[in-house]
Amino acid sequence: MTVEIKTIDTIPIGIETIIILTFSFYFLYERMNEPTTDLIYNDYRFWIVLGMIIYLAGSFFIYIFSDQVDRNLFNKYLSLTYIFYALKNILFTLGILIYVRSEPIKQRNKKETLPFLDIN
């Protein structure tokens, strides 16, 4: 038994997308204003947030107007979201790779701060 989806609820999708995009742009704004010597693209969070922005901004209007357009036209443009989905996954993978490669560097520079707990 298959369930046929008749419509997509566009209001929650639109509100969710606007909220996430707002927080994503705010994160990037705050990150750009941090006085660090490290480049922004060396931070794994940049790539994760960029992937979210590209996917949500690319598929925003397709999902918003899904109720107003013909089903055949919607299905034609729905395949366009797969491109944004693939880009998002590529950027997420890049962010994960940067995180994995930068973790040992942080561990080497971290000083041991174990307290002396000898009670005897």
Euclidean distance between CA atoms 110 and 104, whole angstroms? 10
Given pLDDT bands bounded at 50, 70 and 90, which one contains residue 114? Answer: low
Q: What is the pLDDT of residues 69-87, one digit of tens each?
A: 888 888 888 888 999 999 9
Three-state SS annotation for the chain: CCCCCCCCCHHHHHHHHHHHHHHHHHHHHHHHCCCCCCCHHHCHHHHHHHHHHHHHHHHHHHHHHHHCCCHHHHHHHHHHHHHHHHHHHHHHHHHHHHHHHHHHHHHHHCCCCCCCCCCC
Give the model's pLDDT for residue 32: 87
Which residue shows structure tokens 């989806």? 5
Q: Comparing 93 with 37, which gets the higher pLDDT? A: 93
Q: What is the CA radius of gyration of the chain?
A: 21
Checking if the pLDDT of 89 tops 70, the result is yes
Contact 56, 89 (CB under 8 A): no
Mean pLDDT of all residues belonging to the chain: 85
Checking if the pLDDT of 65 tops 80, the result is yes
Contacts of residue 40, Cβ cutoff 8 Å, sequence gap at least 6: 31, 32, 46
